[in-house]
Structure 1
Amino acid sequence: MKRRTILKGGAAFGLASMMGGKMALAQGLEKAKIGFVYVGPIGDGGWTFQHHQGALAVQEAYGDKVEIVWQENVPEGADAERVLTQMALSGCNMIFTTSFGYMDPTNAVAAKFPDIKFEHATGYKRDHANVSTYNARFYEGRAVQGHIAGKMTKSNKIGYIASFPIPEVIMGINSYYLHAKKANPAVELSIVWAFTWFDPAKEADAAKALIDQGVDVIASHTDSTAPLAEAAKTNGAVIGFGQASDMSEYKPTPRVSSIIDNWAPYYVKRVGELLDGTYAQIDAWEGIAGGEVEIGEITDAVPADVKAEAEAMRDAIAAGTYHPFTGPINKQDGSAWLAEGATAPDGDLLGMMFYVEGITGEIPS
């Protein structure tokens, strides 16, 4: 009987929401409850840490007009759908789901709660009018890192720790390699697939494997500081980059720069639109120009001329005068992809499931 009572309460909440939700949203909200679902811990020092900083920025911006709730360490899959359902039933007006693998659970739960707004990070499915997607052009930051890597490697062997074989990760690998190769034609790239977003032990093992292969510059698309911790053990022989957050505790070396994911402007904007009644479904993809991708301080461990070149590339990307995927570029099999001077359409990038010419190995299935 107690369980049935709880379910009836949830159904009553949903009915009330459906009856009054559209009118409330059209007029704005005096107060909103905002949920965040995280794939890792807020103390990971990387991806989840940065999303939570964005959540805290919402709280700071709107004070007692918002209530922030969150759930850490939510596995991608069925557990995510359960957590999302609980958040919806708890009275959230908007829920941000912050990992690619939440895509299907987000859309499934959104179908059941049409008056709650769902925002999914890095996905592409907007199966319902109350689902929006948002992403960041991480590949822009990878171009800057690739240039530094190509210029600074002494072994001509650079490495990349990859999480999962999805377009977001693959376009980062390609951008990193292309710009390292432009800076240093002798560069060879080694890739280790960790098949995790956050697992410090696996990330450390991946870094060790690259170092054992003679790699002396490591980039990563995983969420912890473990790769930098491994690089730090080499007494300056190996350098790397902060991923998702600045990871400044490893400055000035091995962390010589970083990609910082700044979600705060987007989160503050979208919650503000919910509150003032101007909210609409969107698909957002911002980069350096929009402030969602920041290049962390390039330290003095990088030669002054290389630092100046990297900063010039950053500024050209921000100004729109340079696109990291500008032809001529061939696919791995040698077939033409982009002609001289052509730039990659967003659709090609968002569906990118191929390596560019020069990268060895296969993309895992």
Structure 2
Amino acid sequence: MGDTMSLKTILTSAAMVVGLATGAVADGHEPVKVGFVYVGPVGDGGWTYEHNEGRLAVEEAFGDKVETVFVESVPEGPDAERVMTQMALEGADLIFTTSFGYMDQTINVAAKFPDVKFEHATGYKRADNVSTYSARFYEGRAVQGHIAGHMTESNIIGYIASFPIPEVIRGINSAYIHAKEVNPDVEFKIVWAYTWFDPAKEAEAANVLIEQGADVILQHTDSTAPQAAAQAAGNVVTFGQASDMAEYAPFPRVSSIIDDWAPYYVARTQAVIDGTWESTDTWDGIGPGMVKIGEITDAVPADVKASAEALIERLRTGEYHAFTGPINKQDGTPWLAEGETADDGTLAGMDFYVEGLTAEIPS
């Protein structure tokens, strides 16, 4: 991950050349066509909703210099390849493929359309015309874990996991480390939903965890169904995932991780307009603003809110890394020594739990 570009760098270069694009349509050039492939519906209230907010920001930023198109609820697999191919055939200049499971399809289609630029979210395979980008969601999980560890009374925290990929495993580990730090008695129960968006499955997972005694639920799935299940249960704390899910505030949703893709989408579209686009890998967190923490409500005790805000600030400035030793792997072998921080390569491929988690990672 050594060639990771920060969003700040991209925005600075985009700002320098922003003036060059103003005459594009006036000069008779066709508008740049930007496509988006979504794994869920734009109304999911979470992941896809936020990517679509980024698309709308592109339209607002460029007006008639761009045309945007999107296809929602595209399953990961052959369907995604067909949708991407169709977008490219219909003249898309830039295509954002917004789910980890689109990785191989993105690479396949990009090879057939070398003049089209592709941007794949959360994956790791690149090509001359394929960039990758992701957010350091694990920083937000650290904050959620901190609050959760303080707020649980049963000492059981439930976690609705989507798929056993590094991004999700990182989040579980980060939340657990920071919950355990403030509450040594805390225990995590994990239910794998094997979906990004399926409100019925997500509600079922939430109810299973509540029946197992969880009074805090974290989720790495995209609908608000777990929020509704927690609200019905009455005494269960939740956190918004990917978007603010503020309709469930001030309780059960006491805070959230918000993915803000808009500045990145605007900067990358600008680069295509300017002819300066090149294949990059971007992995940004709270500091550059790609990860935001939604309002911590007054349902959280004032001292916990204050300590959570202090943690956010330390993550924002880079003074603190969410994976700072001493940390052992689940089997007890040392991973990070006292004061040592995790490298991006290990985090990007994370396939192990940290010590204290009792579940097994599904193969």
Name the TM-score, length of structure 2 as normaliser: 0.92
C-alpha separation in 1, matches of 2:353 and 2:226 = 23
What's 1:66 paired with? 66
1:244 aligned counterpart, secondary structure = coil
What's 1:221 paired with? 220
Which letter maps to 1:109?
V
Instruction: Give the 4+ runs in structure 1 shifted more than 6 A.
Output: none
For residues 117-132 of structure 1, the aligned pairs below 5 Å read 117-126=117-126, 128-132=127-131
C-alpha separation in 2, matches of 1:143 and 1:91 = 42
Question: 1:96-131: CA deviations, max 9, x gaps?
Answer: 0000000000000000000000000000001x2000
Instruction: Name which of 312, 330, 348 aligns with 1:350.
Output: 348
Task: Choose between structure 1 and 2 for higher RCO, CA contacts under 8 A separated by at least 6 residues.
Answer: 2
C-alpha separation in 1, matches of 2:287 and 2:106 = 28
C-alpha separation in 2, matches of 1:144 and 1:84 = 36
What's 2:94 paired with? 94
C-alpha separation in 1, matches of 2:176 and 2:308 = 15
What's 2:161 paired with? 162
What's 1:19 paired with? none
For residues 111-260 of structure 1, the aligned pairs below 5 Å read 111-126=111-126, 128-235=127-234, 237-260=235-258
Which letter maps to 2:108?
A
C-alpha separation in 2, matches of 1:48 and 1:335 = 38
C-alpha separation in 2, matches of 1:158 and 1:355 = 16
Which letter maps to 2:72?
E
What's 2:299 paired with? 301
User: Given the alignment of the two structures, is residue 361 of structure 1 paired with residue 359 of structure 2, yes or no?
Assistant: yes
2:320 aligned counterpart, secondary structure = coil
The total of aligned residue pairs comes to 337
2:270 aligned counterpart, secondary structure = helix
2:233 aligned counterpart, secondary structure = coil
1:218 aligned counterpart, secondary structure = strand
C-alpha separation in 2, matches of 1:45 and 1:32 = 28
User: Given the alignment of the two structures, is residue 42 of structure 1 paired with residue 42 of structure 2, yes or no?
Assistant: yes
C-alpha separation in 2, matches of 1:337 and 1:209 = 32
What's 2:85 paired with? 85
C-alpha separation in 2, matches of 1:33 and 1:240 = 39
1:118 aligned counterpart, secondary structure = strand
What's 1:329 paired with? 327
Question: 1:228-279: CA deviations, max 9, x gaps?
Answer: 10000122x1010000000000000000000000000100110011111221
C-alpha separation in 1, matches of 2:359 and 2:198 = 24
Superposed displacement of residue 339, structure 1: 0.3
What's 1:6 paired with? none
Which letter maps to 2:291?
V
Name the TM-score, length of structure 1 as normaliser: 0.91
C-alpha separation in 2, matches of 1:290 and 1:95 = 23
C-alpha separation in 2, matches of 1:159 and 1:183 = 17
1:272 aligned counterpart, secondary structure = helix
C-alpha separation in 2, matches of 1:66 and 1:140 = 33
C-alpha separation in 1, matches of 2:275 and 2:165 = 35
Question: 1:7-41: CA deviations, max 9, x gaps?
Answer: xxxxxxxxxxxxxxxxxxxx976420000000000
- Higher alpha-carbon Rg: 1
For structure 2, the residue ranges without an aligned partner over 5 or more in a row are: 1-19
1:295 aligned counterpart, secondary structure = strand
Question: 1:287-323: CA deviations, max 9, x gaps?
Answer: 0001110000000000000000001100100000000
C-alpha separation in 2, matches of 1:144 and 1:104 = 32
Which letter maps to 2:133?
Y
Q: CA RMSD in A?
A: 0.9
Query: How high is the sequence identity, in percent, across the aligned residues?
Result: 71
C-alpha separation in 1, matches of 2:79 and 2:300 = 44
Superposed displacement of residue 214, structure 1: 0.5
C-alpha separation in 2, matches of 1:191 and 1:307 = 25
Superposed displacement of residue 342, structure 1: 0.2
Which letter maps to 1:337?
W
C-alpha separation in 2, matches of 1:207 and 1:71 = 29
